């Protein structure tokens, strides 16, 4: 079975985002406690760091959507949030750029 091209691109973004988190030392071996996933705030800002949210929520959603060949959202604002959240982080530039590219990819996808 051939995987449609946009799923391949999304999987590539997930791999690149993971590699960047590892490069900057933000990758964690253990997930946050289960209650951290019960947040009702955008990007789980009250229960996780932004890096944790990227690793344990965003990457999981991307990879599960690819595996299930499900539907991606029509819009993404993770790059916009990263611009604000990582503004003063000296290692944040490449990750922010990558997340902005991901937003553009999601929003340019034909449905």
**pLDDT per residue over 4-35, tens digit each?**
699 999 999 999 999 999 999 999 999 999 99
Give the pLDDT confidence of 46-105 residue by residue, as tens digits: 999 999 999 999 999 999 999 999 999 999 999 999 999 999 999 999 999 999 999 999
Q: Name the architecture of domain 5-25+46-108.
A: Up-down Bundle (1.20)
CA angle 102, 109, 13 (to 5 degrees): 30
| Maximum Cα–Cα distance across the chain | 45
Q: How many angstroms from the chain centroid is the CA of residue 74?
A: 15
d(CA 108, CA 111): 9
> Domain extents for the chain?
5-25+46-108
Would you state the structure tokens that stand for residue 88, as one six-digit string? Answer: 């003063």
């Amino acid at each position: 079975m051939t995987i449609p091209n946009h799923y391949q691109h999304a999987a590539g973004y997930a791999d690149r985002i993971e590699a960047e988190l590892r490069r900057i030392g933000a990758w964690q071996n253990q997930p946050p406690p289960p209650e951290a996933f019960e947040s009702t705030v955008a990007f789980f800002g009250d229960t996780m760091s932004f890096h944790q949210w990227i690793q344990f929520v965003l990457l999981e959603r991307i990879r599960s959507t690819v595996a299930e060949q499900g539907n991606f959202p029509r819009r993404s604002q993770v790059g916009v949030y990263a611009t604000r959240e990582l503004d003063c982080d000296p290692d944040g530039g490449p990750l922010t750029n990558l997340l902005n590219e991901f937003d553009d990819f999601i929003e340019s996808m034909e449905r």
